[in-house]
Amino acid sequence: QVKLVESGGGSVQAGGSLRLSCAVSGHTYSRACMGWFRQAPGKVREIVAGIDSAGSTPYADSVKGRFTISQDNAKNTLYLEMNSLKPEDTAMYYCAASYDGGVLFGTSLLCTREFGYFGQGTQVTVSS
């Protein structure tokens, strides 16, 4: 059974930093796409960062240069380092994994397999 558990969310002022973690179990994510999604109230869920076994790490334009995605295979953990946070980054953040065998298309955030597994989310609130 695949399980993704996020942690590290919280409330910060604009310009601050947070590091999100996602503990992964029951999934061989080394052969899949992993990603961080977010959803703000009244908005559609969007992917902001991805990573795959080839080492590709694309980002949404809105977070490029401020967010960094990484993974620790020994700890089965995915991370999202978020710096220079803005009020518009306020959202629920979700860790996600694709079905086995997924890879990212070039430098895009599109994966060859569907992101079929999501965690429960961790709230990030950025005040001005």
Q: pLDDT (tens digit, 9 = 90+) per residue, 45-66?
A: 999 999 998 889 999 999 999 9
Is the pLDDT assigned to residue 3 strictly greater than 80?
Answer: yes
Calpha distance 67→19 (Å, rounded): 9
Is the pLDDT assigned to residue 106 strictly greater than 90?
Answer: no
Write the burial class of residue 44 (CB in 10 Å: 0-12 exposed, 13-18 middle, 19+ buried): exposed
Contact 78, 71 (CB under 8 A): yes
pLDDT confidence of 26, banded at 50, 70, 90? confident
Query: What strand order describes the sheet that includes 18-25?
Result: 3-7, 18-25, 77-82, 67-72
